[in-house]
Amino acid sequence: MIVTVDRNGRTFINKDEVPGGDLRSRLAELFASRTKKEVFLKADAGVPYGEVVRAMAEIKGAGIERLGMVTEPAQK
């Protein structure tokens, strides 16, 4: 499962937009019956660091045990 924060500050779980403030509860609901609690976070390069940290805190607060980051290779 991938959580994305785009350059406009919108948050998505896979391709579904999540209204502001609902990320933690939506993830908790989606993972309630799953044994493997793993999420990958992807954020646009223009997203302020504080927004990325906020998303990370919401993901962890939903009970997600493993959080990975999706990165793009650096352009030369």
Q: Please name each of the domains of the chain with its CATH number.
A: 2-69 (3.30.420.270)
Written in H, E and C, the secondary structure of 9-52 is CCEEECCEEECCCCHHHHHHHHHCCCCCCEEEEEECCCCCHHHH
Q: What percent of the chain has pLDDT over 90?
A: 82
- Mean pLDDT value across residues 18-30: 94
Percent of the chain with pLDDT over 70: 95
Mean per-residue pLDDT over the chain, rounded: 92
| Statement: residue 3 has pLDDT above 80 | yes
Which among 23, 4, 1 is positioned nearest to 72, based on CA atoms? 4
Instruction: Please tell me the pTM assigned to this model.
Output: 0.89
| Pairing assessment for the beta strands 11-13 and 2-5 based on DSSP bridges | antiparallel
CA separation for the pair 59, 56 (Å, rounded)? 5
- What is the per-residue pLDDT for 76? 63
